[in-house]
Structure 1
C-alpha cells in the first residue's frame, strides 16, 4: 500500500594490556605511519575493494565543498543528564538517566512521586527519563521505577523499545516503552511477566532475525540469554567473555553485529569472533586488534559498515575506532593519551586482517554514527583518560567524518567544533532530518554543576554539511512510499526535487539503535538496489524503484528510517516497517 506523506497515518503492527601510545609525540606518529607502510599490500587490497564497491554501488564521493557542519543548542535544559537514548518510529527520542542520582531538574507530571528502595532518594518526585520532540524542541517527563544505570536495550519488531538490566533493584528488570504519536501520552511500563535470568549491568542487546533479542554479557555475567526467554534452563555460559576479561573488565558493552548470514560478530576487549548462536559454536576467530582495549571502560566504538545490495551483501566490514590505554581506568591520575587509531577488518575474508588508519584526533568515549550517505560520524569523547567518574580530560570537541569508500589516505575530515564537552555518559543519535542529536555528559556520581566539566543538561544538534542551504536544490523530498516493505519484494518511492535527479541516487534503510556508553546497539545501514529513476507526472517528480532487503538476516524485522540520497544529499527520512 502506498501512502502520501501529507496524509500519513501510521500503521500499527502486532509486535589485554596494550602498549602506551602518545599521539602528541612525533615519534609515535612516525611509528604509526611506519606501521602503515608495512601494510602496503593490505592497503592495495583495501583500495581495490573500495574501488569495486564504489563502482558497484554507483556512488559519488561525498565532498560538498569545504563545509564542516554547524551546531545548535535545541533545548537549554532537558531536566536530566542523558545516559541512554533511542529514536522512536514517531521521530521522538527517548532519553534516560539512572535513578540513583537524587532529584533531577524536571518534575514528574501531576504531582506523581516514586517510592522505592532507591539508594539516594526514597521518595522522589522528579523524572529520570524524558521524551524529546525534535519538531517542537520540547521534552515531556517519563516515569522510570527502577535503576537503569548502565543498562542495555533495543527496539522490537513492532517498534516497542525493550530496555533491560541496570544496577541495584533494576539489574534483572525488563522495561517497555511503546511509542505513540506526539498527540498522545505514552510512558514506561515495567514488565510483571518478564525478568532477566541473570543480572545484566553493561550488557549489549541485538535484535535477531526471528524478532527475539539476544543479550550478551555484563559485569561478572559471562553468559548470554534471550528476551523474550527462549532458554528456560537459565543463561548460557559464554567462554569468550571470560577469556577477554582483564583487571579493568575491558569486555563490557561488547560490540555485537548481526551478519547477513545470520551469525553474530562479537568483539570484546581486543578479540573478536563469529558466533553461531543457533548451534552455540564459535565458527571463526580473528586476529587480535592492535593497540588499546576498545570496550568499556576503555571506550572505543564500533560500527558495521554499510551492507550493500550491489555486492549481494556478501562483503561485511567492521570499523573500530579509539579507546583508552590499558591502565587509564585503574590509574586515572596518569591522564594517559587516548588511542588515535581506527582499525578496519573485512569479516567475510578468508584470512581477515586489521588495517590501521590514523584519526586526526585521539579519542576515547567517542560515538560512531552511520550517516545516510554511508559516511561515519565520530563524535563526542575525550583525548585523554577513560570512562568513569572524572577519569577523562581534554574533551574532543571536533567531530570527524569518515568517508567509508574514499582512498585510505583521504577518509577523515575534521568537522566544526562544539563548545560543550560531551564525555562520560553522553549519547549521539541520527534524527529523521539527517541531524545528529547529542545529549548528556556527566562525569560525576551525582548531578554536579561546578568544576571543569559540570553535569550537562543541554541537548544539541549537529548538522552535517549535507544540510547546508547551499545544497538545498539537491535535496529530495519523499512524497509517496510504502508503509511496509516485504523481504525480497520490489517497491516504488516517489520523490520531488528542485533539480534533476541523477544515476547516483541511493536508498538507505537506517535502523534506530540504542545509544549508550560510546556504542549504538543494533545500528545498521542497508543500501538497497535501485532501479531506474523515471520522471513522472510533472517536472522534478520522480519514481524510484527499489528492492527490499532479501531476508531478516540482512535486515531484522523492525522499523527503519528510509532515506533517498541524491549526489550525497539525503532526504528527510520516512519510517517504513520491514517484515515478512
Structure 2
C-alpha cells in the first residue's frame, strides 16, 4: 500500500471516528446558548400556555441590564438598593424568536413562590421586604402587552421561601416560609391559617425546612416533605393523616437544596402508582459554616400510599446539591444544574456540576442513571430549568452573590441556554389533530404524523413554577393510548381518555406530547376541566 493509500485509509478512519464521536455526543444531548444577555438573572421561571416563559428576579438588587419601556420607571421608597429604578426585574422570553420583553414588577419577589391556576394565570405569592405578604398575577396574552398586576389584598402571613401547590378545587395551598409553621390558601375562600406540625418538627439551627416539597397525590391528599421528614396531609380537613420514616442522609430542603419530583402517574395503573423521588442535599452545617463540605450523593424513593411505606436509597453518579429535577416527555427525570459541595446562599457553592443525569424510573435499581453532555456554563444558586413545548429544556439564571456581580468566581449569569435531550432526533412526530380541551374521564382521538410507529404514547405534562431547585406543581400523566391505526398520508390515530379527576390532574393547561417509539414530538397545549 502506497503512502497516498495509507493517508486515504487514515483519513477515512479519522472521519469514521469523528462521526462516531458526534453520534455519541448527540446520544447524550446537546447544548445551545440562545440568549447572550437576558438582562436579568432568572431566579424564578414558568412556561405559560402561550409558549412564552416568565422570568423573575428580585427587585432589591440594584439596576439590572434590561431597561423598562421608555418613560417607565419604578419609584419605590421601600426599595433597599434603588428607589428610582428604570430597569426590569422580570421579563418575558419567547423561545421561538429568542426575544426578551421587559416586565414591570413593583414589590420584591426574592425567594417567593407560585403556580398557574386553572385559567392559565400565574399566581405569585410572597417574597421579601415589601413583597412578604403580596399576591401578584400574570395573565399570558400571546406576547402582547400583558404585565404583572399586584393585588390589593395579600397573604394572611408573610411567606418567604414557601411552596405552592394547586389543588383539585382550583385554589392553591401555600406551605411554610421562613419562620412560619403554617399553611394557607389562595384565594382563602374564608379559610384561615393552619399549623403544620411537620414544619416545627423539621426546623433546625439553619432552617433546613424551607421551600418544602409538596406533591398532590391521586388520593386527593398531599405528600409534604421538609428537611428529612414527611407527612400525608388532608387539605380538606387540615389534618395530618400519616407520618413517614425519616429519609437517611443529609438535609434535603433549602438551604441544603436537594430536589424532588412526583414520578409519572400512569393510566396503566389507574393513576394509582404514586412515588416520590428526592435527590441530593447538603451536609448539615454547610450553610452555617461554609467550608465547601461535600454534597449528598443519594436519592430516596418512596411510595407514600403504600402500606409500610419506606425509603429505597440509591446513589447518583456525582454528588449534587442545588440540582433541578425536570420530568421529561419520555417519563424520565432530568437532574440538571447544581454544585458538588457547599450549600445555598451567597458564595457557599463549590465544584459546579455541569453534567446532567438522566434518571430512568422504570429500570432496576442500580441501572437508572445515565450521565449526559456537560454544559459549558456552571449553574448553581438561583438557577432554573423548565421543559419547553418543543421538548428542549430551558436553563437560566445563577447568581451566587447578593447583587449582580459579572466577574470573578461563579459570576451572575445572564445567559439563557437550551439543552436538547437524546430524544431530540430526526423525523419527530407531530399532532395533525388533537382536541384543545379535555373533560375529566372523557374519551378523545388524537391524530399523529409519525414514521411507521409501533407504539405511540400520549403524555401530559404540567408547566411548573421553578425556583430554588424545586418545580412547584410539576406532574406527568401517561394517558391511555390504543395501538396506532393508519389514517393515510403518514398519519395515525390513537384513541385515549382524559384523566379521571382533578385529584389526578388539577384543572388548567398542560402540554400534551406525542411520543412515537421513544421519539418525542412537539407538544400541543390542552386545557383540562
TM-score by length of 1: 0.86
Look up the match of 1:477. 430
User: Are 2:238 and 1:280 aligned?
Assistant: yes
User: Are 2:35 and 1:83 aligned?
Assistant: no
Look up the match of 1:130. 91
**How many Å apart are 1:64 and its aligned residue?**
10
Deviation string, structure 1 residues 31-79 (Cα, Å, up to 9, x no partner): xxxxxxxxxxxxxxxxxxxxxxxxxxxxxxxx99981100000000000
* Aligned counterparts of 2:196 and 2:369: Cα–Cα separation in 1: 37
Contact persistence 1:64–1:465 (CA under 8 A): no
Query: What is the root-mean-square deviation in Å for CA atoms of aligned residues?
Result: 1.2
Contact persistence 2:432–2:491 (CA under 8 A): no
Contact persistence 2:60–2:82 (CA under 8 A): yes
User: Are 2:121 and 1:160 aligned?
Assistant: yes
Map 1:145-544; keep pairs closer than 5 Å.
145-182=106-143, 184-192=144-152, 194-232=153-191, 234-332=192-290, 334-468=291-425, 472-473=426-427, 475-497=428-450, 499-503=451-455, 505-536=456-487, 538-544=488-494
Look up the match of 2:65. 105
- Structure 2: runs of 5+ lacking an equivalent: 1-22
**How many Å apart are 1:407 and its aligned residue?**
1.7
Contact persistence 1:64–1:466 (CA under 8 A): no
- Structure 1: runs of 5+ lacking an equivalent: 1-62
Q: Which secondary structure does the structure 2 equivalent of 1:532 belong to?
A: coil
TM-score by length of 2: 0.94
**How many Å apart are 1:539 and its aligned residue?**
3.5
* Aligned counterparts of 2:43 and 2:419: Cα–Cα separation in 1: 18
Runs of 4+ in 1 over 2 A off after TM superposition: 63-66
Contact persistence 1:425–1:440 (CA under 8 A): yes
* Aligned counterparts of 2:271 and 2:235: Cα–Cα separation in 1: 20
**How many Å apart are 1:191 and its aligned residue?**
0.9
**How many Å apart are 1:231 and its aligned residue?**
3.7
Contact persistence 1:383–1:394 (CA under 8 A): yes
Contact persistence 1:340–1:361 (CA under 8 A): yes
Contact persistence 2:126–2:132 (CA under 8 A): yes
* Aligned counterparts of 1:255 and 1:215: Cα–Cα separation in 2: 11
Deviation string, structure 1 residues 266-295 (Cα, Å, up to 9, x no partner): 000000111011112211211100000000
Paired positions, count: 506
Contact persistence 2:332–2:361 (CA under 8 A): yes
Contact persistence 2:25–2:373 (CA under 8 A): no
Structure ranking higher on relative contact order (CA contacts 8 Å, 6+ apart): 1
* Aligned counterparts of 1:238 and 1:343: Cα–Cα separation in 2: 23
Q: Which secondary structure does the structure 1 equivalent of 2:268 belong to?
A: helix
Deviation string, structure 1 residues 8-45 (Cα, Å, up to 9, x no partner): xxxxxxxxxxxxxxxxxxxxxxxxxxxxxxxxxxxxxx
